[in-house]
Structure 1
């Protein structure tokens, strides 16, 4: 009985965390989406990794499962084969990508912390997609610069997903425009930052939240003005901006 109660408590905590990752006005509507559309189609390996991540002290860093489902479909729609991800954490979004790619597809995953990725690595291996992943530990900017120096890497990626250091988002953007091919997609996560982008400048929030809000607003302005891309900001998760490179 104790174990059963503990399991219920952990599940309740995980559900509570998930409610903080969406912007729908009614939580019941979000739960409807999860229960009727997302969870019934979620592969067992993603469920296992999602539940493992939910118990992590920084579990909110992972994308929510409805966003993961959307990314999988998006990657398949564009027939992505070569992708890059900045900000891996335990690897939930990375696993979504690996599952969506064809058997010979590849994703370069960049993160400063291999320890978090190693938590999810056994699940990724069990899912049979570890061979698609090239994990690179370190700061993203030097790694991106190194990739750009390789002419074979320039204009070769079908897709990029950025869920990392918001301060450097625009620096990532300029480099990714050299790596993602024309017609390819660059996706930025958290572009609504819990809705704070629409709050008044003097609204109550933490110093960290205010700083990230500032950089998020600057990113959104820059993307909207960038004529090298077509964009769409989706109210999924914490905000997801799709950028299609056109020049």
Structure 2
């Protein structure tokens, strides 16, 4: 009975995969024909089925970009970059999309040791740092066994020193892994999805206006109160925006 269930589940997943592939190809064909709105509908159908990929988000972003949909194009380019952060083509197209935004927001330069550590931490993902740590632990075990069973004093010394180096590197990479985890946990980007949004100084409509943002601007969500989000810009400004005015990445 269990085998039948597994076979049935496999067939269902295979059928869904085949259907998604078909929709993706149809979306690409519609895009090449210049029917961008219908292409978007095909791509969105795949998303509704729970399928996600950098290629899908990239094509969806391109279709929105062709229709001058500022916020959706930037949103989906950012989604694509989350899955393929080093893809040059996605980066290039995302830069063109950002040029359509109105808001010119600077950034607070980060300097010193903390900035260097942050940049180094972001070189790898949390999973990759964890895998590197496991690799050094494995090396430590091998080297320690060599030290334990070696008869030569020189080999014992080299094995012991090398194993201690591996322990040190394990601790360092674990520290980077947890630092990356904390950075990712704090990173809550969102895109402004309305043409213009009044950012308030407090989470209510009666408070004074802090500044105005326009569609396509990327912000960081740092707090939530009822139907308001506290956001922070790259230049350090903070304020409160209505939930419906932004879309979290």
Q: Give the TM-score of the pair, scaled to structure 1.
A: 0.24
Greater relative CO (CA pairs within 8 A, separation 6+): 1
Q: Give the TM-score of the pair, scaled to structure 2.
A: 0.24
Structure index of larger Rg: 2
Structure with higher helix content: 2
